[in-house]
Structure 1
Amino acid sequence: MTQLRTVQVLGGGSAGSSAHVKSLTAGLVARGVRVSVCAPDSLERIYDFRGCGADHVPVARRGDPMSLGALRAACSTADVVHAHGLHAAVRSAVALGGQRVPLVVTWHTRVYADGPRGHLLRLLERRAVRAAAVVLGASSELVDRARRRGARDARLAPVAVPSPRRVPALGDDAQDDSNGKARAELGATGRPLLMAVGSLVPDRGYGTLLDAARAWRALDPVPLLVIAGEGRERAALQGRIDNEGLPVSLVGRRDDVTELLAAADVALLPSRWEARSLLAQEALRLGVPLVATAVGAVPELVGDAAELIPYGDATALAETVTRLLGDPDRRAELASAGRVRAATWPTEDDTIAHVLSVYDELTQPSPR
């Protein structure tokens, strides 16, 4: 049997989509599939696709002729090209123009824009989904959106991400020691630790989070809010933190997010929209109480295992966190419910098997 050859295409690569591609790549390689990952060098340094057994093809997140040429050359010998995210999908569609190679597109999230940029965004979405043989949406809402944009075949495909290397048990002395070291490093010894993770961009809701942090200054002891991530809003957020004296620390991009999150008293997800949030999945698996906005696929992901609040409501966010910090029984209840909920999600093996079945469907000869 001829070895199946796939090309995975990433653009800028959110943490969720990049982690998914790494997991998918490792699983496909283990099943005898030849995988090439077209992604910027920066993502290869972080996610080490080569270490999973894939070929890495450096392709910048641009649509210039050189980048498109490199992408086209990489895709020319593939049996299936799989693009992750809108920008990767559009560039893949352009690169595949004239080639008889099926394109699979996974939508991990959505982008918000108004006015002329919003119109351009809709055009790009239509271009991407109409070029795809199959669109896989990480949530029901994304599947519906792809169908409205003209997708020929759009399917729900919940994206599983790797489980934490070690899910701590309650009362685990080694884990308690690790948590203590993480809290000491962050400056949260003797005070509650709140944790948020994600790119520092407007739709993440960090402005609302800083508004809530003003209220937490009245608590004793004052909790420390740690935000892990980088992005164009960093300077503005740091300016507010400094000017308003907020108990908030921006720690940048970290490769030990799981360890930091495991040490937190509460995880926070204040986003405007999320599909299968990486933070939400890790928090529930780790048994860390989660406060999240009731947006996108978050309610269907977490069920009753998290506290849900409206997007942009700083008062609700501040009050919910304050209540949780004063109620250890409720935090323990959420920790237990989170682990139970996480056990119901598709596994990495489920996700890989589903994607491979789509590839097989697109590459098998049609019955006469």
Structure 2
Amino acid sequence: MDDTSVRGTAPVPEPGQLHAVLVVAASTGGIGAHVRSLAQGLVAHGLTVTVCGPAATDQQFGFSATGARFHPVEITPSSGPRADAAAIGELRRAFTGAGVVHAHGLRAGLLSDLALRTAGRVPGMRPQTPLVVTMHHALLGTGMERRLLRLMERRVARAADLLLGASSDLVARARELGAGDARLGPVAAPPLPAATLDRAAARAALPGASDRPVVLAVGRLAAQKGFDLLLDASRLLAGLDPRPLVVIAGEGPEGGALRDRVAAERLPVLLLGHRTDVPELLAAADLVVISSRWEARPLVAQEALRAGVPLVATAVGGVPELVGDAAVLVPYGDAAALGRAVAGLLADAPCRARLAEQGRAQALTWPDEVATVAQVLSIYDELVQRS
């Protein structure tokens, strides 16, 4: 182990080499995958890269394997004086000698700003280090929580030298809050590996799916994902012949309630829990459903269209601009519309084939990981020259 992998020891860039520090809070999916992709691309372009985040994120996403240094910082999901003070102290150490700091998400952005604002207390840290913040999610809390989040959101929007939004509505929101510079920064989904099973074998691996249409949903079992709406819609599908099987892959805080509903109402729903075989699940699916309250650029939408699996999704956030005409969109909160859209698509094989073709074509218009890294490199160069 070299000295750059030791907690609290900052890496020393070669002369002329930019040191970028990426900051991430706890992530179970898209944000962590994006930061890993970004770290790998930046290292490949010759940057010195440090990734700061909870220790569990390195175990899950393998930041250290990209050639970046990983500096553990326990950024908790909610604010707490002791936890935040400890995180800010660790971030100060990690930021020593940094040419640019790039935080992902509201909590990471807020704590990064606080660490940079106290830069004068740490020898070697540059007070003028630019701060880039990528916002990946809209704030969906209620009551007092929502008011506190809005205050944090406003502070981060105004503190960042540049705010990137993963979807256009996030960019518009940042500008409303007073961001000096807010731009669209699409997050590319890393390509999935090829499925190891063909369609017949993939369907045989799902209990009860071999002779039924399979409707697939993938995501964290949390309120934002609207899986309760999907369960409502599944009741409308129960009368079809053959009866579709709704398959949900994921875990999260809503898991227990969803399982109780499936059992009590005898819904045609199979809850798989956490899965790592998404390519095989897509191979088994007749269509994919997204029932979310809000999304920016959902990974499962990108994966479905690339794989040629028809998509039904709620018309929220960045979904319409992501999928264009290559998916069936319905209003959020309308279980009947969702059920009708799924039933109609299952009954229309030519439409499914057309959407599969349009989906693959739409996917070719998205920026890939190479383009995403190139955009970020250009932004870093611009900000470093400006500072």
8 Å contact kept, 1:195–1:264:
yes
Partner of 1:363 in structure 2? 384
Give 1:14 shift: 4.8
Residue identity matched to 2:146: G
Partner of 2:96 in structure 1? 76
Please give the alpha-carbon distance, in whole angstroms, between the structure 2 residues aligned to 1:6 and 1:108.
19
Residue identity matched to 1:347: D
8 Å contact kept, 1:262–1:283:
no
Give 1:82 shift: 0.6
Please give the alpha-carbon distance, in whole angstroms, between the structure 2 residues aligned to 1:317 and 1:282.
20
Please give the alpha-carbon distance, in whole angstroms, between the structure 1 residues aligned to 2:95 and 2:219.
31
Residue identity matched to 1:270: S
Match of 1:230 among 226, 251, 262: 251
Residue identity matched to 1:59: V
Match of 1:102 among 130, 138, 149: 130
CA pair 258-45 structure 1, distance change in 2 beyond 3 A: farther
CA pair 197-42 structure 1, distance change in 2 beyond 3 A: same
Aligned identity (percent) is: 53
Residue identity matched to 1:204: K
Cα deviations by residue, 1:301-352 (Å, 9 ceiling, x for unpaired)? 1111000001011111111111111111111100000000010111211110
8 Å contact kept, 2:38–2:373:
yes
SS of the residue corresponding to residue 96 of structure 1 reads helix
Please give the alpha-carbon distance, in whole angstroms, between the structure 1 residues aligned to 2:205 and 2:156.
44
Please give the alpha-carbon distance, in whole angstroms, between the structure 1 residues aligned to 2:386 and 2:147.
39
The correspondence of residues 1-368 of structure 1 with structure 2, limited to 5 A, is 1-62=15-76, 64=83, 65-99=85-119, 100=127, 101-166=129-194, 177-187=197-207, 188-364=209-385
Please give the alpha-carbon distance, in whole angstroms, between the structure 1 residues aligned to 2:382 and 2:341.
47
Please give the alpha-carbon distance, in whole angstroms, between the structure 2 residues aligned to 1:220 and 1:255.
31
8 Å contact kept, 2:198–2:283:
no
Partner of 1:171 in structure 2? none
Residue identity matched to 1:182: A
TM-score by length of 2: 0.89
8 Å contact kept, 1:196–1:268:
yes
Please give the alpha-carbon distance, in whole angstroms, between the structure 2 residues aligned to 1:261 and 1:83.
32
Partner of 2:11 in structure 1? none
SS of the residue corresponding to residue 227 of structure 1 reads strand
Structure 2 unmatched runs, 5+: 1-14, 120-126
Please give the alpha-carbon distance, in whole angstroms, between the structure 1 residues aligned to 2:221 and 2:131.
31
SS of the residue corresponding to residue 364 of structure 1 reads helix
8 Å contact kept, 1:179–1:260:
no
TM-score by length of 1: 0.93
Residue identity matched to 1:73: R
Residue identity matched to 1:83: A
SS of the residue corresponding to residue 205 of structure 2 reads helix
Number of residue equivalences: 358
Give 1:365 shift: 6.0
Residue identity matched to 2:113: A
Give 1:146 shift: 0.6
8 Å contact kept, 1:280–1:290:
yes
Please give the alpha-carbon distance, in whole angstroms, between the structure 2 residues aligned to 1:327 and 1:296.
28
Give 1:258 shift: 2.9
Please give the alpha-carbon distance, in whole angstroms, between the structure 1 residues aligned to 2:259 and 2:97.
47
Please give the alpha-carbon distance, in whole angstroms, between the structure 1 residues aligned to 2:334 and 2:202.
30
Give 1:283 shift: 0.7
8 Å contact kept, 1:75–1:81:
yes
Residue identity matched to 1:164: L
Partner of 2:8 in structure 1? none
Give 1:179 shift: 2.9
Q: Runs (4+) of structure 1 moved beyond 3 Å?
A: none
Cα deviations by residue, 1:246-293 (Å, 9 ceiling, x for unpaired)? 121222222222331232111011111111111111111110100000
Please give the alpha-carbon distance, in whole angstroms, between the structure 2 residues aligned to 1:296 and 1:364.
33
Please give the alpha-carbon distance, in whole angstroms, between the structure 2 residues aligned to 1:259 and 1:162.
16
Give 1:220 shift: 2.2
Residue identity matched to 2:337: A
CA pair 365-328 structure 1, distance change in 2 beyond 3 A: closer
Please give the alpha-carbon distance, in whole angstroms, between the structure 1 residues aligned to 2:140 and 2:215.
27
RMSD after superposition? 1.6
Residue identity matched to 1:4: L
